[in-house]
Amino acid sequence: MVQPIISARNIKKHFDVSGGILKAVDGISFDIYPGETLGLVGESGCGKSTAGRTIIRLYEPTEGELYFNGKNIYELPRHEMQEVRRDFQMIFQDPYASLNPRMTVEEIVAEPLDIHKVYRNQKEKHEKVIELLELVGLNEEHANRFPHEFSGGQRQRVGIARALALNPKFIVCDEPISALDVSIQAQVVNLLEDLQKRLGLTYLFIAHDLSMVRYISDRVGVMYLGHMMELAKSEELYDNPIHPYTKALLSSIPIPDPEIQRSRKRIMLEGDVPSPINPKECCRFVERCPYAVGRCHETTPEFREITEGHSVACHRADEIVAGTAKPTK
């Protein structure tokens, strides 16, 4: 069997804020296998970006273990961590804020090479930068320009070139396309897929656009208030969602087809996502869940495998699968 490249075990990231403890990520576990794309979706404030950053140790975790090629990277001392960091990279959401406006594209892309002292002479480094720019569909001409001379889509390409500079194995893509126009989004997504095939990359793809995540991911995890609610193969999750939250989330995405859209029935959720500060120790979705019963208010449901490769954190998952669950609201 293939060994996972990343194994996250019970990862927690809490922040001390005035008014209590903000539990941004509260015990999530999953595996990512080499060459696959794991999608992470959820509404704003669900902890998906914090999860992405904690996994590559940009944030120090509050608790948990993260195995990368069998090594727990959370226990590594600083200098060893720096070695491992080469294998992890990140592509950020905002291509305007993530590039230093006072550096040329060449300096931006070469920065990781400088930090890790990969090349001894300027010429070799310059050649590597040009190679990277060509890899993402830019060319030598662009190397001496500044970020403001580029459109959003091109800037995101620069960000991708920088992420690829150290030949990483694993890339966290944190909403890489949500700041881009529809027609440009497809360009960037196609580029990411193409690079994955050519370079054998593994992605954690974080987004709130569920249709795009379904398109790009092999497996998809759904988060809500710091907890993983459901995780399954992409087709399985979208065809047979089990968790009431996933169901509602999927039904609220409008499909660009007027005929289908007219005949669809929306599951309307009431209210908003509650505050993640000092959450009650029970099912996080209980207040908005149409299926909530007594025990949902008392204990946190275990995240368990219901059918092969399909895990859900819901007390009533078995009833829902069997079709015997009745809504309580």
Partner 1 sequence: MEKVLEVKDLAVSFKTFFGEVEAVRKISFDVGKKETVAIVGESGCGKSVTANSIMQLLPMPPAFYKGGQILFNGEDIVTKTEKEMQKIRGNKISMVFQDPMTSLNPTMRIGKQIVEGLIKHQHLSREEAQKKAIEMLELVAVPQPEKRAKQFPHEFSGGMRQRVMIALAMVSNPQLLIADEPTTALDVTVQAQILELMKALQDKLDMSIILITHDLGIVADMSDKVIVMYAGQILEQGLTDEIFKNPKHPYTRKLLASVPRLDMDRNESLHSIEGTPPDLYIPPKGCSFYDRCDKAMKICKDNMPEAENFSKTHYSCCWLNHPMAKDVAEGREA
Binding-site ranges for partner 1 (CB under 8 A): 43-44, 151, 153, 181-187, 189-190, 208, 210-212, 214-215, 234-235, 238, 248-261, 266, 268-269, 272-273
Q: Are 48 and 41 in contact (CB under 8 A)?
A: yes
- Give dist(CA 298, CA 295) in Å, integer: 5
Q: Are 35 and 200 in contact (CB under 8 A)?
A: yes
Q: Which is nearer to partner 1, 58 or 253 (CB)?
A: 253
Q: Which is nearer to partner 1, 10 or 261 (CB)?
A: 261
- Give dist(CA 75, CA 80) in Å, integer: 10
- Give dist(CA 56, CA 73) in Å, integer: 9
Q: How far is the CB of 253 from partner 1 (least distance, A)?
A: 6
Q: Which is nearer to partner 1, 74 or 291 (CB)?
A: 291
Q: Which is nearer to partner 1, 47 or 153 (CB)?
A: 153
Q: How far is the CB of 43 from partner 1 (least distance, A)?
A: 4
Q: Which is nearer to partner 1, 189 or 283 (CB)?
A: 189
- Give dist(CA 16, CA 308) in Å, integer: 38
Q: Of 148, 150, 123, which Cα lies nearest the Cα of 136?
A: 150
Q: How far is the CB of 68 from partner 1 (least distance, A)?
A: 28
Q: How far is the CB of 24 from partner 1 (least distance, A)?
A: 16
- Give dist(CA 154, CA 146) in Å, integer: 11
- Give dist(CA 103, CA 96) in Å, integer: 13
Amino acid at 95: P
Q: How far is the CB of 175 from partner 1 (least distance, A)?
A: 13
Q: Which is nearer to partner 1, 32 or 248 (CB)?
A: 248
Torsion of CA 239, 243, 245, 250, to 10 degrees: 0
Q: Which is nearer to partner 1, 261 or 307 (CB)?
A: 261
Q: Are 301 and 315 in contact (CB under 8 A)?
A: yes
Q: How far is the CB of 303 from partner 1 (least distance, A)?
A: 21
Sheet architecture: strand order including 227-233: 88-91, 170-174, 202-207, 37-41, 219-224, 227-233, 310-312, 304-307
Q: Are 32 and 1 in contact (CB under 8 A)?
A: no
Three-state SS for 304?
strand
